[in-house]
A and B are shown apart, each in its own frame.
Chain A
Amino acid sequence: MPEVLKAPLVVEFPFTRSVGPVQSAFLTGLRERVVLGVRTRDGRTLVPPVEYDPVTAEEIRDLVEVAPTGAVTTWAWNHEPRRGQPLDTPFAWVLVRLDGADTALLHALDAPGPDAVRTGMRVRVRWAGERHGSITDIACFEPYDDAADHTAVDEPTAHDGQFENTIDGIVAPARLDYTYSPGRAQTAYIEALSERRTVGERCPSCRKVYVPPRGACPTCGVATYEQVEVGPRGTVTTYCIVNIKAKNLDIEVPYVYAHIALDGADLALHGRIAGIPYDQVRMGLRVEPVWTKGARHPDHYRPTGEPDAEYDTYKELL
């Protein structure tokens, strides 16, 4: 078996999410250094606040301001912070019940070490320098000595949730890193392509040859192992004319993109057709691959000059 092929794969996109009225007030409040909670009908104060009561599913809208101070309800020491986490030095994950709240908020606590953290300890919000209306407007929590500060507000006070320029959504970037490996069948296919050969696999049951192979026959549900070299020539089974230029693609429009059944294959693959005016491409056209230097797959296919294939020879491969 050839060496397993691997390549880095980064999946990264920003999620743009709209927020409800309670979330909007809470996140805008953080930007203004105000922590808001929401009251349930039975008098509990939820921080962070949600749009619906988690017990009764009732819509809840009564906002209150709670203190930026509170107590740790549970914690865990994170000695190796990971990408994206609130602090890049060792810290404690904490659930904090803010003064005036009945539920706890997850965040980070900046503390010198695990010996400095305990359940029940007093903490306060450390605000981020730049705030945009996000949970990360709280940079983290920090230990807090009540005795030195008598200005703390314990009872939640009603708040109308009104701020200037309330936010109506968040953009949450997400990035995950992978090491992609294509598996046995596709590895063999890619290896052969590097020698400018196209190798499919034959189903031991129905005898169809799949190109590119995926390791299994989708009709029979069995593994395909027998390798079969196909092509290099093939037949256009169907095609379309592309009139819109793709971003970052240096191909003049219009051009033809086609299904091509390579000789010996029972499945058509896709390819661009060139070397012929776009309006002369037709079903049954015989084509061959054109490789460019250093390429890992054919750049495009061009006419061989042979007579067109009879429809009956490719009608099952459309």
Chain B
Amino acid sequence: MTREIAVVAFAQTDHRRTSEELSEVEMLMPVLHDVLDQTGLKTADIGFTCSGSSDYLAGRAFSFTLALDGVGAWPPISESHVEMDGAWALYEAWTKLLTGDADTALVYSYGKSSPGSVRDVLTRQLDPYYVAPLWPDSIALAALQAQALIDEGATDEPALAAVATRNRAAAATNSHAQLRGSVPQGEYAVRPLRIGDCPPVGDGAAAVILAAGERARELCARPAWIRGIDHRIEAHGLGVRDLTDSPSARLAAEKAGAFDRPVDTAELHAPFTPQEVVLRRALRLDDSVRVNPSGGALAANPMMAAGLIRIGEAAAGIHRSESDRALAHATSGPCLQQNLIAVLEGDPR
């Protein structure tokens, strides 16, 4: 790597079941202003802007172009968009900074799940020939993964409930989270998963500023340096995969250097409890690692933003000197199909 690149600012909305009184740009704008204010930067100072969102969530065509109004994109700025979680927008921005074309980047993402039914919307990302015509919803697919883990002896329903409880207890100190503290496991959603094993459905947005080298040190007292970042994908056929493992997450972690030295903190994007079980094994996270001090995606899961938030939370822990080396993970697709791993470090204290 020729250039050092760091996360220098992070902001997120309070994530809520609905934000119907706000358009997407109205929901997004406060977090854009927040990260700019943290660094003292103005839109004109930003070298590259990249966003992540999906028009399917709210059923609004080209919503990402309207969201650009909140950036101040006129006269035209250097800008890009991914129809993915903002963690992948951050990956694109990181590569842009690596090329030396820009020294700073604004990365943001947002999702409004409240206007539609996200369980059904997500069926539209599946194999259109063999799978999508059956409309298997996101909870059903996560439940198939859960049962595979239970059959293997890797977990059971009480252990899954404990994952949910621990994440939401951690979220008690996260004012942005949607589900905080004690939340009942409730009835089966799709057995063996109960309501409590599933993420809350809600609306939210997040933003991050990246900066390279000395620029990062000027903008942030303790930048969260991205030591490595990589993303990998598995075969799209669910029945081709071993659902109890995540070779793509493990490979991405290896390529990002996660196994070179232990991390003290991990922010995992595991919207469903069994996914945390899979990821802890694949990423070799033992009890010495603080997993999801933010409460993770079980406490707030704004679609397209929850992965970027994992990187933001891991970075913010380094900014606050609560962490020195952290792993951040983002996922996309059913049953952890695609995984991104970033390793962040602070300068020695």
Contacts and interface: CB of A to CB of B under 8 A. Distances in A.
B155 to A, nearest CB: 13
Interface in B108-133: 114-117, 119-121, 123-124, 128-133
A62 B234 CA distance: 23
Interface string A78-120: 1100111110000001010100000111111000001000010
A251 interface: no
B23 A50 contact: no
Contact of B120 (A104, A176, A184): A176
B209 to A, nearest CB: 14
Nearest to B132: A172
B143 interface: yes
B265 interface: no
A25 interface: no
Interface stretch (A11-19, A155-163, A232-240, A281-289): A11-19
B70 A221 contact: yes
Given A54-B240, A79-B191, A135-B130, A74 B147 contact: yes
Interface string B66-82: 10111111110000000
B262 interface: no
B26 A78 contact: no
B146 A76 contact: yes
Contact of B190 (A77, A136, A217, A222): A77
A238 to B, nearest CB: 19
B129 A170 contact: yes
B191 A217 contact: no
B59 A11 contact: yes
Contacts of A248: none
B218 interface: no
Contacts of A261: none
A257 B114 CA distance: 36
Contacts of A6: 20
B128 A172 contact: yes
B167 to A, nearest CB: 22
B133 A183 contact: no
A181 B191 CA distance: 34
A177 B116 contact: yes
Interface string B51-75: 0000010111000001011111111
A106 B143 CA distance: 13
B125 to A, nearest CB: 12
A135 B133 contact: yes
A180 B115 contact: yes
Q: Is the interface of A mostly helix, strand, loop or mixed?
A: mixed
Contacts of A104: 238-240
Contact of B74 (A4, A187, A219): A219
B58 to A, nearest CB: 7
Contact of B135 (A23, A82, A95, A184): A82
Contacts of A222: 29, 33, 72
Given A177-B117, A182-B23, A215-B26, A172 B240 contact: no
B116 A221 contact: no
A178 B59 contact: yes
Contacts of B143: 76-77, 93
Interface residues of B, number: 64
Contacts of A93: 136, 140-141, 143-144, 190
A83 B210 CA distance: 43
Interface string B11-35: 0000000001111111001001100
B134 A86 contact: yes
Interface string B87-114: 0000000000000000000000000001
B151 A103 contact: no
Residue from the set B33, B141, B144, B238 with the largest chain A CB neighbour count within 10 Å: B144
Nearest to B28: A216
Contact of B191 (A108, A114, A134, A220): A114
B177 to A, nearest CB: 24
B192 interface: yes
A30 B123 CA distance: 22
Contacts of A84: 120, 123, 133-135
Contacts of B148: 73-74
A134 B144 contact: no
A136 B59 contact: no
B136 A106 contact: yes
B190 A78 contact: yes
Interface string A232-262: 0000000000000000000000000000000
Contact of B243 (A74, A134, A177, A217): A74
Residue from the set B29, B58, B239 with the largest chain A CB neighbour count within 10 Å: B239
Residue from the set B68, B136, B188, B238 with the largest chain A CB neighbour count within 10 Å: B136
A187 B115 CA distance: 16
Given A74-B151, A82-B120, A217-B72, A178 B133 contact: no
B237 A103 contact: yes
A10 B188 CA distance: 29
Contacts of A174: 124, 132
B137 interface: yes
B1 interface: no
A27 interface: yes
Given A48-B237, A183-B23, A219 B128 contact: no
A141 to B, nearest CB: 12
A54 B191 contact: no
29 contacts: A9-B115, A73-B148, A74-B151, A76-B144, A76-B191, A78-B190, A84-B123, A86-B134, A93-B144, A93-B190, A103-B240, A119-B151, A170-B133, A172-B132, A176-B121, A179-B20, A179-B114, A180-B115, A181-B21, A182-B23, A184-B21, A184-B22, A184-B23, A186-B23, A215-B25, A216-B69, A218-B72, A219-B74, A222-B29
Given A54-B240, A76-B190, 5 more contacts: A4-B21, A27-B129, A85-B134, A214-B23, A215-B22
Interface of A: 1, 4, 6, 9, 11, 15, 17, 19, 23, 27, 46-48, 50, 54-55, 73-79, 82-86, 93, 95, 97, 103-108, 114, 119, 134-136, 170, 172, 174, 176-187, 214-223
